[in-house]
Structure 1
Amino acid sequence: MSSFDIAIIGGGIAGLSAACFLAEDRGDGSRIAVIERESQPGYHTTGRSAAMYTEVYGNATIRAMVKAGRPFLKTPHARYCDRSFLSPRGALMIARDDQVHRVGEFLREMNRPDVLEQVDRDRCLQISPALDPDYVAGGVHEPDAMDIDVHALLQGYVRVFRGLGGQIIADAEVRSITRRNGVFAIDAGAGQIEAPLLINAAGAWGDVIAGMAGAAPVGLVPKRRTAITFDAPAGTNPGNWPLTFDLDEQWYFKPDAGRILASPADQTPSEPCDAQPEELDIAICIDRIETASTLEVRRPASKWAGLRCFVDDHSPVNGFDDRIEGLYWLVGQGGYGIKTSPVMARIAVSQIAGRPIDDDILAHGLRPANLGVERLRGQ
């Protein structure tokens, strides 16, 4: 039996960012363990993400956390990375003739004239030259949207956590959890682990883990998203193209390591699993991209799928369980887990330590009640 002060189930971006910041807050990570069912951290959703930093998508809770996390992502301390996690990309949301009347509605809802500009058809084609001129009527440009280096960010969390003595226990699928005398005993395959504080950062398996610990589910719904990469047209250099997507989020494409990454932006409910792409979704992706652009997908160079998890109101769950003492939820980030990770982790550190959430986070309009488990319990 290995004893710790804190056990975190899930070695994705949520679990490792929390582990890292908790270790920093304590000045020592040797009493913190991250339990990961796979052989390496970030195997599932984290390792399959094409994350973008943009402050104008998701609900108000997501947008507040993203804005608060910008300083960390843009200028991390050297212990995390010797360069920014962000790099220029830009984003272009386009609308067809039958959609263009809704562009104004979107701009009013976001109310961010400082980062968004409405653009006409010709400007859309200048910004994203692969678009089909007959498909585009207008759009919205976010010049300052940025790529996130997901690998560097995850490895930064891992490096700092391990540097403070933190332990990542891999190949450790949780089989059972029991709680006696205020301590959780976790059978994780690799051995027995016990800790008085258990953080549930298990992603798609979050409700399953909660059930093992005796807690009621929060209603997590994993949803599959598919992606492919394919070769850019001969003689073109797509490196400066933006993320390009449609107003109804039915497709997107962006440059990726010399190729084009594309997705049908599918959200198919799924059981927790090692998600794999379906051939129908790949075919839909190719059809949508070829309909909206002049690109031809002769054969995907790679294909994959990942699970994005949601509760009913599409805000994350970040707080102590309302019934099981010592159980902390850190799940439900949807498609925003990468860019919210530094702030989600800071919020968890504050609440676990019994401190108020930092003012620089609350200054962006975050309401802590919108993260708590209680909002999902009908209380």
Structure 2
Amino acid sequence: MRFTTAAIALIAFIVIFSIFVANVANLVGIDSKISKRLDAAYTRGQQRLQQQQQSEEDGEPFRLDDSPRHLMWFLQISDIHISLYLDPTRIPHLIDFCNRTVDIIRPSVVLASGDLTDAKTSNFLGSQQHEQEWRWYREVLRETNVLNKTTWLDIRGNHDNFNVPALQAKQDLFTNYSVQGKIHPRSYLHQEVTKDGDRYSFIAVDACLDPGPKRPFNFVGMLSMNETQHIINLAEQSRAMNTNYTVWFGHYPTSCILTPGLGTSGIRNLIGKYQEGYAYLCGHFHKLGGAVPQMYTMQNEGFLELELGDWMKNRMYRLAAFDHGQFSFVDLQHNQWPVVLVTNPKNALFNIPGKEDPHAQLDSSHIRLLAFSPAKISECQVKVDREEWVDCRRVSNELFVVRW
């Protein structure tokens, strides 16, 4: 118990110190060029939003009824930590995730938000990039054929950047062994367009230090001025592609990303300027050793920030969905079945004012939920408060509805 308490105290100290350092660094000031770009982006976004609202008023009502349209879901996995020395079950469990979980849930996208490998030395005190760990990561994705089932969007975490002197250096194994690394060694944009014409953008934010120091000196991330400008370019590109909804994701929580030039709000200031951004999804903190199992917040800039627990020890993953413009999610442990995500009505704690239609749930005609199971789902029922259980009707393989 003493060891556990000491470990949690140490982790808490590192996190608090990292947040302090990041916020002090961000006090340096705001770069005028970046500030003007973001202010202009916000103004254009407001005009765009007004046009969309007017178009919706003039067109067919966007109602949450029993239709399977305007529905998209995806998965997130973080802090996998494939290790040469620890816990050999991480790999077979990841294989099962790529095989069974992905096969059953059939996500449009899987976000792998960093710390793909462990990169520790044999005595667990130092750090080193091990090519074998990266080979195992690549082999899992290839052998499970997961890349032909979904779009796998991976990004670096601090462990993937231990002892990496520069991009394209021989120690930079992410570039050679990851899915996205060869084309996108750092931050990048991916867009999904559904058969209903809805456009979903995923913007990956790589805040890894350059060069990547040894363990434990890169617990904090940083965006250089050039990388910040690149990320703004990605957001502008996404907007030019007429995206409806944007999900930002990265390894580091925004609280421990140094962002010179963006002021005290840091990267949150950037994300908040793009009104189509609904959430920032991340990992890194590993539930603070179990002390904070649900690290969720609504940032003042108007988007959700949702840290996902680790795969390394807790085998966590996330199912998230957009249903007629409403964003919802549930965090799950691997092999926890059945998987259920209620998309309407969504959890009121995670309503996103100014982005989600405040009348959509109130005016909706049906309760809507996604349900997945390795066994055939023969019956689905819901109960509201003290009312009786009622049967849901299956609209598609995954969507169940009932009038309310």
Which TM-score bucket, shorter chain as reference?
under 0.3
Query: Relative contact order, CA 8 A, sep 6+: which one is greater?
Result: 1
- Give the alignment's TM-score, normalised by structure 1: 0.27
- Give the alignment's TM-score, normalised by structure 2: 0.26
